[in-house]
Structure 1
Amino acid sequence: MARSATARRTIDPLTRPIMLGRDIEPRVAAVLLRPFGYLLVSIVWVVLFLAAVATAVVALPAALSGTVGDAGLGASPAFHRYDTWMAFIVIPLVMAVLGCVGYLLILASLGNMLAALTLFARSLRPSFRHERLSASIRAAGGEAVGPSTTAVTGVSLSLLPMRLTRWTKLVMMVQFNGWVVNGPMLSIGSVWGALYIFTVGWILWPATGVGLVVCGVVSAALAGVLLWMIWQRRSVFPTVMPGALENSPYRWSWPNKPPVAKKRDRRTMPSS
């Protein structure tokens, strides 16, 4: 059995499972029926994840390729208007918005898909029959992504595995980085949007000759910047969580770091 959840001020390495919250033994009927429920939820989130990938990655080039014809995007009347210069204002905004939305859709659906599949697998194992498998928490108003009304009412985040292991901690990190509003969502999402729209644009233009080489180099550079940003922010991802988990085992377990103690002011008072 996993250890009980207690407040801790040292980081648990998660070499053994711990419980995210107070464990309550489920009823026999719930144990028998939950595999069907988690299977259904898993199917739903697999479909939503595939739809998110299709929307964020495939939809734009598919829509553009069907309207530009064989001559390419460069021959489109939209790029031969007197107000084409406005594209230099609109396109960067579109890059940032589409990038952040794509980041949100893919991470949020991927995290819930992995959580649902993990919970379905656990529901089939006899070793989990005496414990609750998942929990839900309420994120405070404006803390998580949702309709405008959630700024007042908050939003419920579900499919959180109760038994915390290194695997489920990684799954929950993906969930929270997709649902909870955070800095990397904006910065990494914006760079992803620039890489995506620029690359789709020069492929459909299409770029040729020296332009093809230059565009390829720029896309590779943007991809490098994206990977560098993800690597540089790797220590930030575990800290993205709803406020309700600030004092929970989630906060005080691998790969989170203990808070840095503030240095005392050692300046001496001036002598009289």
Structure 2
Amino acid sequence: MLRPFGYALQGVVWTVIWLAALAIYPGSMLYVAVDDPAAVVRNMSEMLSSPVQATVLVVVLVPLVAVVMGPAALWLLPTASWPLMVLSWVYVGRSLRPDHRSERLSRTTWARPGEAFGPPTVTSVAMSLQPVRRSRLTDVLMRFYAAGWNPDGRMFLAMLPAGLAWVAGVVALLDGVPPAARWTAGAVAAALLATSAVLGVRAFRARFAPRVTPADGVARWSPEERRDRLAQLRRAQASRRRGSDAGR
């Protein structure tokens, strides 16, 4: 009886977390550019006028901001939260259906320290809200779940241009910057975001593309994939038998 309310509560929590994560990238950009643009322009001018400070800005600060705002803020934080949000609401719907009333809806597995996204831990990390009964929707959600909680290097690199786009976007929004520089920075920011979008799609597809080779065959298939393939073979065999009987 209480399962729908429990999953709904989790859905609300993850929805709030997702909305907060989604607002970090544009919100921080607007805050830096609009809160005190004169001070930002003044500080940037002072740093660029000093060779040492300019080197620190280009070599240290800009790459650091690119890592924080690209792979972390734009990709990992939202992607680690919205699949859990949607899964929670999926379970709310399932818990209200009579055919799911007596079965377990979700399960939890444990990742070893360092395997999951988040601060360093000395204990295993709970990976909750994984579906017990699979569907096409939950399969898609679990791919994004894995991409958010178990990040890979290719997606990290794909999101770095978006991190640089954050820097260019701040310049484009600053009032004290000459109009030509603002338009140029805006165009650069748009191009960098488009680059991350293209590279991100490629990285995601490459990560979850089927990887079955003649050397390992079905050995790398999951139990669910083996079961689905066996069902397909049985249906094909039954269809051939029916065609053979009809031809007699």
| Residue among 62, 74, 83 paired with 1:91 | 62
Would the alpha carbon gap of residues 143 and 252 (structure 1) be closer, same or farther in structure 2, given more than 3 Å must change?
A: farther
Q: Distance in 1 between matches of 2:104 and 2:7?
A: 13
Which residue identity is paired with 1:238? F
Instruction: Quote the offset at 1:73 in angstroms.
Output: 3.6
By percentage of residues, which structure has more helix? Answer: 2
Is 1:249 the counterpart of 2:224? The answer is yes
CA positional deviation for 1:237: 4.0
| Aligned residue in 2 for 1:110 | 82
* TM-score, structure 2 normalization: 0.75
Q: Give the equivalent residue in structure 2 for 1:79.
A: 45
Deviation at 1:43, TM superposition (A): 0.8
Letter of the aligned partner of 1:215 in structure 2? A
Give me the identity figure in percent. Answer: 30
> Are residues 47 and 251 of structure 1, via their aligned partners in 2, closer, same or farther at CA, if it must alter by over 3 Å?
farther
Moved over 3 A (4+): 81-84, 205-210, 245-248, 250-254
Cα RMSD after superposing both structures: 2.8
Deviations 1:238-258 (A, max 9, x none): 36xxxxx9845379989xxxx
Task: Describe how 1:15-30 pairs up with structure 2 within 5 A.
Answer: none
Query: Could you tell me how far 1:144 is from its partner in structure 2?
Result: 0.9
Q: Higher relative CO (CA 8 A, sep ≥ 6), structure 1 or 2? A: 1
Distance in 1, Cα, partners of 2:167 & 2:112: 34
The one of 171, 175, 178 equivalent to 2:145 is 175
Q: Does 1:132 align with 2:101?
A: no
Distance 1:35 1:170, change over 3 A: same
> Does 1:160 pair with 2:130?
yes
- Rounded to whole Å, the distance in 2 between the matches of 1:43 and 1:246 is 35
C-alpha distance 217-223 of structure 1, shift in aligned 2 (>3 A)? same
Number of residue pairs aligned between Structure 1 and Structure 2: 214
Could you tell me which runs of 5 or more consecutive residues in structure 1 were left unpaired when the two chains were aligned. Answer: 1-31, 240-244, 255-272
Residue 197 to residue 221, structure 1, CA distance change in 2 (3 Å): same
Offset, 1:62: 1.5
Matched residue, 2:25: 56
